[in-house]
Amino acid sequence: MSKITTKMKRHVRHELKEEGPTIWVGKEGLKPSVVAEVEKQLQREKMVKIRILRSALAEETAKAIATRTADQVGAALVEVRGHVFIIYRRRRKPTVDKSVAK
């Protein structure tokens, strides 16, 4: 999980304050398809707001799901509030394969 400063956390929370969650973790929990969608949205937006449905919380807590999600995508966990959490990751620059570029 990457590190994030307090000032940056405040900025991310402010940016997503009025936004609704864009990803929902369903009753099956954190499936690979959900992680792939989080990865895709982080590449595009840098920050993602995710809601965990109550049925997904039968096995583990919201904090545990949020931490596991952030670890799997290499992002920083900004905030967990109730069933909603926010993660942030700086955009990754596309890697250029030097053997193909020549």
Here the CATH number for the domain that contains residue 10 is 3.30.110.60
Residue 78 CA from chain centroid, whole number: 9
Q: Does residue 99 fall inside a structural domain?
A: no
- Give the pLDDT confidence of 61-100 residue by residue, as tens digits: 999 999 999 999 999 999 999 999 999 998 766 666 666 6
Question: Looking at residue 87, what DSSP letter applies?
Answer: E
Whole-structure pTM value: 0.81
Positive or negative, the CA dihedral 65, 21, 47, 86 is negative
**Contact (CB, 8 A) for 80 and 46:** no
Average pLDDT in the 32-42 region?
A: 92
Q: How many domains does the chain have?
A: 1
In a domain, 100, yes or no: no
User: Is the residue at 98 inside a domain?
Assistant: no
Residue type, position 67, single letter: T
Asked if residue 12 lies in contact with residue 40, where contact means CB atoms within 8 angstroms, the answer is no
Would you say residue 102 lies in a domain?
A: no
**Parent domain of 63:** 6-90
Considering the chain, what is the average pLDDT of its residues?
87
